[in-house]
Amino acid sequence: MATELDALVLDKAKKWLEGNYDEATKKQVKYLIDNDNKELVDSFYKDLEFGTGGLRGIMGVGTNRMNIYTVGMATQGLANYLKKNFQNQEIKVAIAHDSRNNSRLFSERVADIFASNGFKVYMFDSLRPTPELSFTIRQLDCKSGVMVTASHNPKEYNGYKAYWEDGSQVTAPHDRNIIAEVAKITDISQILTGKNKENITVLDEKFDQVYLNRIKGISLSPDAVEQNRDMKIVYTPIHGTGVVLVPAALRKFGFKNILTVKEQNIIDGNFPTVESPNPEERATMKMAFDLGIKEKAEIILATDPDGDRLGVAVPANRDKTEYVLLNGNQTCVLLTYYLCRRWSDLGKLDGKQYIVKTIVTTEMLAQVAKSFGIKYFDCLTGFKYIAEIIRNHEGTAWQYIGGGEESFGYLPEDFVRDKDGISSCAIAAEAAAWAKSEGTSLFELLKQMYVEYGFYKEGLVSVVRKGKEGAEEIKKMMSDYRAMPPKTICDSPVVTVRDYSILESTDVASGKKQPIEGIHEKSNVLQFLTEDGTIVSVRPSGTEPKIKFYFGVREPLASVDKFDEVNAKLDAKIERMKKELGLL
């Protein structure tokens, strides 16, 4: 088998030496053939898959790497599908990119190919966040869009997200149909380039103001902002696209005292001040924390390189000498509660409002929705499924309030159809100002919510494997869990197993099976629910060799002064689950 694979890889690599590829690419391929067989195999053993979310991979030469050729083939396949789907219509597309190395190069390649296919192309003059790309598609009546980004992945990665005419990442059936068209592009000679440059229109800061003005329109507490307009807000873009727009959005809301981490305002795809540009990680937030402590900030905010995710840290004490980095579930809960509370205070609730969360996001959100008489929807992981629910309710009496996922993504409005770190930062700051005007803080509010709704706590472990062997190992892990699901978790019997790959829920005691309600698309996810309310979810990534384990536990919280005690108890329970599953 190894010999067959090596022969296949060598044959594919030699085609890159002989084909119409640039000389630098050919030189690197030749180097791998002569000197690095492992990297050669990883670079050529398969084609970089255009999955349901687009492309994502390590940059470099080869069919399994992000480069102008794999990006070009994906774009031509997408263009061919657009022409089939929108026959006899003008096709307009929008393109944006983040701060990563080669992002501008890749986005210019995408623009060239779309223009060469006869499309009208809107392209920003420099980097812009993902949510603005989603907004642009809707605002300019585009049929599709592309965001060049690998989100918060390490610097070696880049990626390519494909969007549909509603501003959402593509969903069924378009995702599968696009994948089929991309698969038909088997040679770079099929890619159209170098034509119709006049089809490209450049967007600048004037368009940013259209987006920012819409964000300003979602403010719910202008009086609280005015009362606390000088409160200190620390923000870091982590070398990414939020550098201009987040401070601008905060100023639109009325905040005056915005302090940025100057070293991280520098646009740099090497992310020199952090190991990983991920606001989920406390180490990434260290410089923002240091500035927050120095300045006694009311709130610390961060966005990832493409500006769709947000990180929120709040003071742990009145002296502001310590800050708590909220996890994604806590941020979701606080922002949702704030929106629901203010809609209620302003008399805007009439029973026709709803929120959305993903199946791996805290169940506490369901309790918040119920307490306000608001409907909530569960959906698969991925913001395109939240966008799909919003789309399905367009033109009806139902109103979207907000929705989010545990991985630091939130959307507090519906004129964007992907997670929006820009508007979410503005709403988070407004929520902090509102809490302050109510004589409390966001962290104290969260504790009070735990008393009211129950103390829900979540944990996450990501197991990363490398290359082809890693992908096969993860596949086997899922097979093993399906064949032999755990019987107990922390001494509590597993009572229900949900398998989203077949949309089936099994009652363990009776063996009775029934369909999973409300979910219409299959996904490679398993959930184990125990007698004491614990939920463990297992989900492989669709774009990289990684598998995630989500843990959800809960306990009653009798009073705020019991917070530390119950918090420690829940932490210990999550750690025990990790050990039981062999993850520590």
Q: What is the DSSP string of 71-119?
A: HHHHHHHHHHHHHHHTTTS--EEEEEE-SSTTHHHHHHHHHHHHHHTT-
Same domain, 357 and 445: yes
For the cut 60, the answer to whether the pLDDT of residue 340 exceeds it is yes
Residue 584: pLDDT band with limits 50, 70, 90: confident
CA angle 575, 554, 278 (to 5 degrees): 60
Q: Would you state the pLDDT for residue 543?
A: 60
Q: How far apart are CA 91 and CA 336, in angstroms?
A: 37
Mean pLDDT of 305-326: 96
pLDDT(14) > 60: yes
Q: Is the pLDDT at 1 greater than 70, yes or no?
A: no
pLDDT of residue 541: 81
Q: Which of 203, 224, 251 is the last residue of a domain?
A: 203
Q: What is the pLDDT of residue 50?
A: 86
Name the pTM for this structure. 0.94
- Summarised one tens digit per residue, pLDDT across range 405-444 is 999 999 999 999 999 999 999 999 999 999 999 999 999 9
| Mean local confidence (pLDDT), 348-363 | 97
**What are the structure tokens assigned to 211, written together?**
């987006």
Q: In the predicted model, what is the mean pLDDT of residues 73-83?
A: 97
State the Cα angle at 142 between 182 and 74, rounded to 5°: 15
On whether both 412 and 475 belong to a single domain, the answer is: no
Q: What's the chain's average pLDDT? A: 95
Other CB atoms closer than 10 Å to residue 426's CB: what's the count? 29
Confidence of residue 286 (pLDDT cuts 50, 70, 90): very high
* Exposure on the CB side of residue 182, measured as CA atoms within 13 A: 23
DSSP SS3 for 161: strand
Do 487 and 441 lie in one domain? The reply is: no
469-475 contacts: CB < 8 A, separation 24 or more? 470/545, 471/545, 474/540, 474/545, 474/546, 474/547, 475/540
User: One of 103, 116, 151, 407 is an active-site residue; which one?
Assistant: 151
DSSP for 337-348 reads HHHHHHHHHTT-
pLDDT tens digit string along 145-156?
A: 999 999 988 999
Number of folded domains that form the chain: 4
Partnered with residue 157 across adjacent β-strands are 58
User: Per-residue pLDDT tens for 250-263?
Assistant: 999 999 999 999 99
> Can you give the CATH number for the domain in which 374 is found?
3.40.120.10
- The answer to whether residues 28 and 148 belong to one domain is no
pLDDT band at 466 (very low <50, low <70, confident <90, very high): confident
Q: Is 151 part of the annotated catalytic residue set?
A: yes
Q: Which of 115-124, 285-294, 445-454, 516-525 has the lowest mean pLDDT?
A: 516-525
- Alpha carbons 338 and 441: distance in angstroms, whole number: 12
| Confidence (pLDDT) at 139 | 98
Same-domain pairing of 374 and 243? yes
What span, in angstroms and rounded, lies between the C-alpha atoms of 65 and 55? 10
pLDDT-derived band at 542, boundaries 50, 70, 90: low
* Mean pLDDT value across residues 565-574: 97
Which band of pLDDT confidence, cut at 50, 70 and 90, is reported for residue 172?
A: confident
Query: What integer pLDDT is reported at residue 53 of this predicted model?
Result: 78
Distance between CA atoms of residues 196 and 200, nearest Å: 8
CA distances from 195 to 106, 109, 115, 331 (A): 17, 12, 7, 46
Q: Note down the domain range covering 166.
A: 53-203
pLDDT at 220 over 90: yes
Show which of 453, 478, 512 is a domain's final residue. 453
273 and 170 in a single domain? The answer is: no
Final residue of a domain: which of 432, 453, 474?
453
Same domain, 35 and 182: no
Task: Give Cβ neighbours of residue 6 (< 8 Å, ≥ 6 apart).
Answer: 37, 41
- Mean pLDDT, rounded, for 387-416: 96
Give the mean model confidence (pLDDT) for residues 196-203.
98
Q: What is the mean pLDDT of residues 183-200?
A: 96
Give the residue-averaged pLDDT of 467-491.
91
Assess whether 223 and 199 both reside in one domain: no
Residues 406 and 480 in one domain: no
Indicate whether 245 and 267 sit together in one domain: yes
Same domain, 449 and 459: no
For residue 401, what pLDDT band results from cuts at 50, 70 and 90?
Answer: very high
Structure confidence at residue 52 (pLDDT): 74
Give residue 2's pLDDT: 57
Question: In terms of Cα–Cα distance, which of 523, 528, 525, 529 is closest to 539?
Answer: 525
* 327 and 238 in a common domain: yes
Cα first-last separation, the chain: 33
